[in-house]
Every structure is written in structure tokens, then in C-alpha cells.
Structure 1
């Protein structure tokens, strides 16, 4: 539901967020280690369409420390090790008289013994070895590695599946059928509990959304809003992360951390952009409709406290300058989403409470409100109307993230989500077909259709979320760019419009090469056709420059040491 003028000539529809990785319990992103990672959590942020311009572990299984008392021997007569397994693969327990003889000296470790014989007590003859073992009295239990922990650092081959009981030698160390002359292995130190890690599937979705935003703001093709509704996807990811944080900490702490992580990069962006706008001649003025000059200062303040729509001048500079006169309006356009995201953060504690009491009515209520606004039964003018429209369009996606985090989607039968999504998306297409305007099938300009389509689309993505700890082999080559995009999602979103606008004077300089022999003819014949292709290609080096120049603000906001290029690549050790 962008507001503006789409197209390649500096008008673009930003419609996603991408508020970077927030995966730990405090809502801060964890540095990604390429290739491996701790158990994933669900999560994300979201990026919208550009307003006013159309274009967009558990603890690892440590061997417990034993008691100071010795451990009983499984074979007290000989003191040796279990014999070769009988049928079923289990060693028999040698009979003994008078019970279990404790080992001399004591020690630390684990020891297991077979169950006592059937009848006759501990000293009787064992008739048959049971098919399982129990832990010896007084010995700590050796835990099996927990499924889902990071095996890369402790046990690269995964949880042990050996069914053999272990016995403790005189030193209290675990040994299994080891020759007498071999030295027992040392007991590993307990591993510290690992914090939840990144969900690489959600990282992938966020990265795709950011690329699609840049692509759409260059080309402005309506079908892009249908093939991948980036903004709805990112709102759903942000809602899931918000619900997880609210489940772990107080609402005040969560809101404070989210606002800080959002606003510090925005303040850096606002200071730089406003300096350029003022340099272009923008000055405090009263509104053309008699609006007081006070409102000019209020709108200026909304760049830094975006509870309202922060807007810039429609034109700044002069024709023929380095940038088109509309560059300020284009560059400030994405700030409408900052307002929408901020209001969602503020309202999330209340929304989550309502969702937990009445999940489905709460989830679907915004769709009904969006339909009321879409049919113009109620009309709210100005930026207030835009803010309410934004809320009703994307609140269902935000709360779908709640359902994802709470496990509500997984409780449904497998066929229910695809059926539910198909109905919603079908209704979205029908609504768009009956409300087509000047922008055609651009769902950004048809809020109710966007709400229905995005909710159905996101429901399928989150229901079948594979929750990867690491990217699959076919995607391993994209690991570092995906990590970089998620660590700098706010920076990419805020500065991508400026980068796109700067490609225009760069490409225009290529026309001067048209006078060259041979090459000039090719340039004159094809430069116009390839203009948008060149814009998309050249925008990424400029975005990279923004990452290097302003990305540190995201680290400062997360109370992290500033990093120049956080793509997760491991540094090679020096020779």
C-alpha cells in the first residue's frame, strides 16, 4: 500500500522491513558463525512500502561428576571388563555371592550394571540377562546428548546410540570393552549451556525480502507485490520475535530495547539526510493551506520521534543538479514504515494478551476493519487515516508471528493451513480485481487485497518453516551475503532509496561515451533499454558503501562493538 509514484525514474515502492536479527533472549542479534550455529529460534523484523513514493540447547551431555565413594563392579570376581555380548548384544553379569563388592579407592565417573538375577537377591544365580541396564546405585547417570544441541563443537557425529553399558575402572573413568593395557579416556568437561541461535530459514526470507524491495523500487512492476509480499512477510517475522521476547522479559524491557535498536540507525540517517536537504534550500515554511509553521517543526521532529509521518519537501535543489529534484521525497519515503513498526511494538503487549485469550478472532479482526475502510464505509483523512490503514493491513501478519512463536500453527492439522491460505489469497485476488486503480494490480495500493494475500502467503511460509540451524548445501554459497543482510537489515532498508537515486547521475554520464567509435553506437542503441538493469546493478555497490559508512549504528544500538563488514566469514589465521 505504497503512496507515491512508482517507476524507474526515481520512484520506487519500498515495502519491507528487515529489522535485523534479534535472536537472543534480550532481543539482540547473535553474531553468526558461518556453517554452524546453535539451535534456532523463530524470529525477524519487517520492511514496508515507501510512503509517499511508490516504489517501496540445551546443556550438552556432560558426564556427571561421580560421588567420592567407589562404584560397584559389574564383575567383582575378576575385576575385569564385560565379556562378549550374548544374544541381544548385552553382556551377562557374573554371579557373585554376598552382593556387589565396591571398588577400592573410589573415583569419579559413571558405571552401569545389569539388573540383578531373577530370584535369589543380589547374590543369587542370574538366569537371564535383561535387554536393558540400569544405573548402579550411587553412580551418577551419564546423560545422552540432547537432540538439537550444537554437535559441531562437542560431538560432530551426533548423540551416541551405543547400547553397551559402561563400567568404571579403578580411577572412576568410563571404559567400554577396552583392552587392559589401554589408558582410559579423560572425562570431558561439562559444556556451558548455549543460547538460542539464528534460524537460517527466517534469515533467508528476510534477505529475499530486502532484495525484492530494491528490485521493485527500480522496476515498479505490480506482479512483484504478488509473487512475494515482502512487507507482510517481514511483519510476520517481526511479530514472532516480539512474542518470543515478551514471553521472556517484561514488556517495558522489550519495548525499550526494540525502540533503541530501531531508532539509533534512524537518527543517523535523519541527521545526514536532513543536512543534505537543508543544504538544498529547504527552510521552515507555513503550509499552503494556511497550516501553521508550528506543524513544519512537528513534522521535522517526527524524523527523530516517528509517532507521525516524517516528510520532506516535494522538491529540493534545482533541475540539472546532481540529483533529481524529487530525491528528498523519495529518500524520506521509507520512514513511514518506521512509524508503523514503532506502533506495533508499543501495542504488542496488549495484542499478545488478546491473542492468547481469543487467538483466531484477534488474528482475523484486522481483516474485517481493513474491509470496512476498503469499502469506504468509514473515511479517515490525512496521515491519521494512512496510519490506521497501515495497522489494519498488517496487524494480522504481525499476530500470525505470535501464532508461529506460540506453536498455534503447529497444532492444526496439516491440511488446514493450505486450505485456509488458499481461501484468503483467493479473496485477495478477487478484491484486487474489483478495486483496480491507476496502479493496476499493485497490491501496495489496494490495502485490503494486500492484507488478505499477505496473511495467506505468510501462513504457508511459517507453517512449513524448516527452522535450519545452517543453510542447506545448495544455499551454502549464499551464507555470507545472507548473514550480512540480516546484520545490516535496517541500514540496507533506510539507505537503499538514496543509493538508487545516486545511480541516475552515474548512468547519465555513460551517454557521454556515445561519441566513441563502435562502442558509442552500442551505447546509444542499448543504454536506454538497459537503464533499469544498470540501476539495479549499480545500486548494490552504493548500498555496500552505506553499510560500511553507517552500519556501525546498528551495533551501537545493540550495545555491541562496531563492525565494518559483519558477514560472518571467519578470518583465516596468519601464517
Structure 2
């Protein structure tokens, strides 16, 4: 209802050239015909304090930026993959490559993290940061292992001769860093770091192509593995270049499945279709492995010896693991398990680099114990004892060498980072990553809802609303023409799920519902 003429403030005479407009119990006077700077307001007594408060800009309380958090489920998958790698290298067993294809899962998880980084930072910055975080751990490993291999006769090794130019690959592993026969077990896992760094360097191109042509980009690397399997191109045994190309062909699809998971493409695929694709890949991998077994007599059906079957089986596993991600908050609420997952993820590179060395050292330690204590042979020959010794030695490596990962990441060095997991600190965020929607919702709740009176300003005219409504201070209202009852506290203005929340102004004003350009300020009753 418009305000009656006799209820208008006396300080503002009626102007015939200013037509009246209705706007939810508030009368707004249009601007005068002449466009001139707003004159100083003639403020009626009783509202001067409100206008002074409006005219003084107030700092806007900005919530701290939500720190990007990894899903606890993905951290648990990475932990399981690293444990599987250590177990496989400790005891062998072709069946382990079928039960849990760890390498494909680790590449898929790394690919998803690359998407998150590339969406927030320039590509060159992301690639440089990834190299900076990984290479120092490799340099420390090489600074210890290369002298040891030289001491143990690498210079006279006929099977793995020393190549001085090849030592540059210990600085930047374009190809596998070289090693001697004595250190073959120590250098064997380095192919993963080489492949990882290549995929990091190619990720800006791969992600752009994947977003434009998802399926062709995903399948293109696999053609290299198929061609090598049918003998159309050399396989991984024909030099460093073909070894690199076959490795990229095997695991680039898993890397890009991480893209699909992070961008939400996997969620848009119907479950039945996704499970059907996984079943086809699993059947093809099984059929190829049975009809084309590996050449190693001790690992005839080991997927690590059959590249095409390994690639297809990894895809078959990664698809459902990333598509049907369960709630892993229980892991964070379990004190021991949550801290183990945190520790392994904080020291993943250190564990991967040193675990094979510690496996070899455990054999030396067991032989020493048996020579000193002959009666300890039944104990040292026990598989559980051997496995426990390996993990104790790995834990020692984490304490002695793990700090380099903290320095590379710009963190304060810690000897044993077993602090509470993210889910333990924030149970409500255990399976949710920070997103633009959550950040917007946090912004929306900075200012409390306060009962206010609206003040409409037009030229040299001012109108004060006779009623109160709920509004947030220092925030633009995306809901013009909407009235909140006194005492009502809406959860937020705007729709955070759609990102429809404007930026706060810098003038300290609040647009009242129905008054575009007006302002509102709390007024005690």
C-alpha cells in the first residue's frame, strides 16, 4: 500500500514532476529529469544515525577460502594401492595383479588431482609445481643409490654398463634412470615416476582434448598397446623409447578416467552402460591373458607381463571404483586407520621409492639374525615376520627421508606426519571436496539476518519504510520485490547451488527488497 500524502515526512515537499511507484509497502520517488550528481541529503531527525551508518563504508567480513580437500575415499584407495605394491614386490604372486591392479588405480587418482589443479592455476604453474614436488625425493634417492652402485662395481658391470650421459636421467627422468645389476631391484620401480612425469607434462593438452573429444582422446593411447600386442610396432622390450610409449598407452586411459571422475563425466554415464563397458574390458583382458601368456615361467599369467591385458583390466577396475564412491567417513573416525591413511598419503613417494630397497635389506637382516642366533630360523622364515620387518624398515625410511616431501611441497618438515585426517577434523566433509557451491554457501552465511527498515533514496528525496523485514547487512539482494517477515531468517539470499550469489558491494550499502539502488540499515525498535 502506498504511503498517504499526510504521512510523508515534512522535510520533503511533494514534487509534481515525480510520479509515484508502488513497491511492496514502500513508495519510491523517481529521479528528477536533470541528471546531476546526487546532492547532500536532507535527513529528517530520527534517521540521521542510520544514514551516517550507511554512508560510512564498512569492511565486509569475508570467510576464509575453503581449502581444497581430497576425498577420504580416494586417499584410502591410494593407501591400498601402495600396500598392494609393497606386498607384490615382497612375495610376488600373479594373483595380486588380478585382485587389485594398483598401478592403474594410482594413475587414475593422480589424473583426477591434475584436473583440480589445472582448473585453478595456469598449466605451466601446475606442471612446474608437480615436478618440484616429485623430483627432490628422486634426487635424494639417487644421491644415495648411485654412489652405492658405483662402490659395488657399476663401472665394471657388463650387463648394465655405466653410461655417464644416462646419469642425467637421475636429474630429469625423461627415460628410466640407469642402474647396475647390483641395484636392479632398487631402480626397477622408477618406470612409474618416469611415466607419471610424462603424463603430468602432457596433461594440459590431454585435458583440453578430453573435454572436446572425450571418447577418442581416451581410446587413442590404447591403440599403441594394441598395435604392440599384434606386432605392428615394437613392444616395450625394444628400447627405452618404445618402453615409454607402451607405458603411456597402458596408463594414459586410466589417467583420463581420473579426468572423467573429477569433471563429473562418469556420473553422467548410466550405471548399466558403465558396468557393461567394465564387463567387456574385463572379459577382453581375461581372454587375451589366457591366450597370450607372459614369457616369464614364474609369472605366466601375471598382468605385469601382458601389457594389453593389464591396460584393459585396469580400466575395468577403475570405472566402478570411481563411479560408485562410497562414504569413507568411518575411516576418518577410526583413530588408527585414519592416521595410517594420512601418513601413507603424505609419504607416498618416499614409500614407493624406498620399499624395494627395504625388501632387499630385510633379507640381509634376516640372514644376520640367523647367523647370530641359529635357533631363530623358524621365526625369520615366517612370512608374517618378514612382512612386519619390511614395514618397520619402510617406517624408518619415512622418518629418515620423508621430510624432503614436506620441503618440496612448501610445508614444515615433520618426521612422522600422522596427524588426524581431514574427516576426523571435519566429519561433515569426509566425502565431499570443496566446490564453488560450498564456497558460495559459506559466503552467503557470513552476515546474519537482521530486522531492518528500508531507506529509499532518489535524487534529493528519501523514503523510510514503515515495516521491518529480514535482510543481511553488506550484501546485495538477488531478490528484489520480495519481503521477509520480521524475525524470519532465510538460510541465504540467492541460490548457492547455482552460483547465483552476487559479489558484496564495497560501499557498505544493502539493497532492500523492491528498492533497486536503495539501502537498508538495522534500526532498533
Fold shared per TM-score above 0.5: yes
Offset from partner CA, 1:343-370 (integer Å, 9 cap, x none): 1111111111211111011112222321
Aligned to 2:36: none
Of 480-489 and 561-570, more deviation after overlay is shown by: 561-570
SS of the equivalent of 2:412 reads coil
Match of 1:480 among 339, 344, 361: 339
Q: CA deviation at 1:259?
A: 0.6
Conserved 8 A contact 2:114-2:203: yes
Match of 2:201 among 341, 346, 367: 346
Q: CA deviation at 1:278?
A: 2.1
SS of the equivalent of 1:379 reads coil
Residues 288 and 420 (structure 1 numbering): CA distance in 2 closer, same or farther, change over 3 Å?
closer
Which segments of 5 or more consecutive residues in structure 2 lack a partner in the other structure?
8-23, 29-48, 51-59, 422-525
Q: TM-score, normalised by structure 2?
A: 0.65
Matches within 5 A, 1:379-394: 379-380=234-235, 381-394=238-251
Match of 2:166 among 288, 299, 315: 299
Residues 193 and 441 (structure 1 numbering): CA distance in 2 closer, same or farther, change over 3 Å?
same
Q: CA deviation at 1:500?
A: 0.7
Offset from partner CA, 1:387-416 (integer Å, 9 cap, x none): 111011111101111111111111111222
Aligned to 1:542: 393
Conserved 8 A contact 2:195-2:248: yes
Match of 2:181 among 314, 333, 341: 314
Bigger helix fraction: 2
- Distance, in Å, in 2 between the alignment partners of 1:189 and 1:347 is 41
Of 372-381 and 341-350, more deviation after overlay is shown by: 372-381
- Distance, in Å, in 2 between the alignment partners of 1:356 and 1:341 is 21
Residues 559 and 378 (structure 1 numbering): CA distance in 2 closer, same or farther, change over 3 Å?
same
CA RMSD of aligned residues (A): 3.0
Q: Which structure has the larger Rg over C-alpha atoms?
A: 2
- Distance, in Å, in 2 between the alignment partners of 1:288 and 1:564 is 38
Conserved 8 A contact 2:73-2:326: yes
Which segments of 5 or more consecutive residues in structure 1 lack a partner in the other structure?
1-94, 102-120, 124-136, 138-170, 173-187, 316-327, 571-575
SS of the equivalent of 1:296 reads coil
Residues 527 and 350 (structure 1 numbering): CA distance in 2 closer, same or farther, change over 3 Å?
same
Offset from partner CA, 1:434-459 (integer Å, 9 cap, x none): 11123222100100000000011001
Conserved 8 A contact 2:115-2:262: yes
SS of the equivalent of 1:461 reads helix
Conserved 8 A contact 2:331-2:338: no
Match of 1:336 among 174, 179, 191: 191
Conserved 8 A contact 2:224-2:245: no
Match of 1:497 among 356, 359, 370: 356
- Distance, in Å, in 2 between the alignment partners of 1:512 and 1:376 is 51
Moved over 6 A (4+): none
Conserved 8 A contact 1:214-1:536: no
Aligned to 2:419: 568
Aligned to 1:361: 216
Conserved 8 A contact 2:335-2:420: no
Q: CA deviation at 1:192?
A: 2.3
- Distance, in Å, in 1 between the alignment partners of 2:92 and 2:4 is 87
